[in-house]
Amino acid sequence: MVPMKNILILGGTTEARQLAGKLSHRADFSVTLSLAGRTESPVAQGVPVRVGGFGGAAGLAAYLREEHVHLLIDATHPYAARISANAAEAASQTGVPIFALRRPVWEPVAGEHWTLVDSVAEAAQALGAAPRRVFLAIGRQEAGAFEAAPQHRYLIRSVDPVEPKLAVPEAVYLLARGPFPEADERALLEQHGIDAVVSKNSGGEATYGKIAAARTLGIEVIMVRRPPLPDVPSAETIDQLAAKIDHLLDPEAERGV
């Protein structure tokens, strides 16, 4: 009998849930999905779930040892830079192999008007002094940065409520969970008269609709660049990552048997 391999997935993305579901069907894998707990009502995952932080790299390293984890998968959001750094450090401390699931970044195409910035605070400044109608599609965690630009009207979309509400004169709050088709995004932008979209370069198809809709409508996109992430083995898709896992944890697959 092949010994069962323990896999810990650091999640919080659609791909993490899909990967956990794909691996859960394997009798030789025991999969646990870890969520940071920032979303109040997470989607059902289909595998055992651990909620909450580990206490930094040292805490995660201790967990990897205590739970005899054979493989650590970083499938967190591309902007969860601190968690990714802790994962890489914990893997280094323990010798546990690590793979990351990294979506390709969105690239501007002809007809798009992007303004690239390095932070959400810079995005607020890039909107300029003149009042604008702005669609904030960055989640709730950093929405407070736009209190520095109260002259604008904001449409703010998030999975969970923004609490407290922003200290700005005009803001509309929309609770929704993707995916967001392009046609729906275009209708939303037109309905609210949006003339600027603020987005993070999350990658993937689920939230690209707003970018395509902005291009169609000639709307500027203030795009927040991704933070630097650790240099660890990675894959761009679930299938690619699953194949790498097989080669790492299945000796027969490694030999091509």
Helices (H), the chain: 14-24, 56-66, 81-94, 120-126, 182-191, 209-217, 238-249, 251-255
Same domain, 233 and 220: no
pLDDT-wise least confident of 64-68, 196-200, 238-242, 253-257:
253-257
What is the strand order of the sheet 5-10 is part of?
A: 49-51, 29-35, 5-10, 71-74, 98-101, 234-235
Does some domain include residue 108?
no
In a domain, 118, yes or no: yes
Percent of the chain exceeding pLDDT 70 equals: 92
Confidence of residue 45 (pLDDT cuts 50, 70, 90): low
- Tell whether the model's pLDDT for residue 39 goes beyond 80: no
Shared domain for 67 and 160, answered yes or no, is no
Buried b (16+ CB within 10 A) or exposed e, 189-209: beebebbbbbbbbbbbebbbb
Whether 125 and 216 map to the same domain: the answer is yes
167 residue type, one letter: A
Residues 74 and 168 in one domain: no
Q: Are residues 140 and 190 in the same domain?
A: yes
CA dist 76 and 16 (Å) reads 7
The domain of 176 spans 114-224
Closest CA to 86 of 102, 67, 100: 100
CB neighbours (10 Å) of residue 167? 10
Give the pLDDT confidence score for residue 37 in this predicted structure.
Answer: 67
Residue 109, domain member (yes or no)? no
pLDDT confidence tier of residue 42, bands split at 50, 70 and 90? low
CA dihedral 144, 127, 181, 166 (to 10 degrees): 20
CA proximity to 114, closest of 184, 227, 214, 226: 214
pLDDT digits (tens, 9 = 90+) for 80-105: 999 999 999 999 999 999 999 999 99
Looking at residue 197, its pLDDT comes to 98
Examine the domain organization and report whether 84 and 123 are in the same domain. Answer: no
Q: What is the mean pLDDT of residues 51-68?
A: 96
The pLDDT of 61-67, averaged and rounded, is 97
Using DSSP's 3-state secondary structure scheme, residue 141 falls into: coil
In a domain, 30, yes or no: yes
* Angle, CA of 53, 55 and 60, to the nearest 5°: 85
Evaluate whether residue 34 is within a structural domain: yes
CATH number of the domain at 82, please: 3.40.50.720
pTM: 0.86
Per-residue pLDDT band for 237 (boundaries 50, 70, 90) equals very high
Where residue 176 sits, what CATH number does that domain have? Answer: 3.40.50
- pLDDT tens digits along 190-236: 999 999 999 999 998 889 999 999 999 999 999 999 999 999 999 99
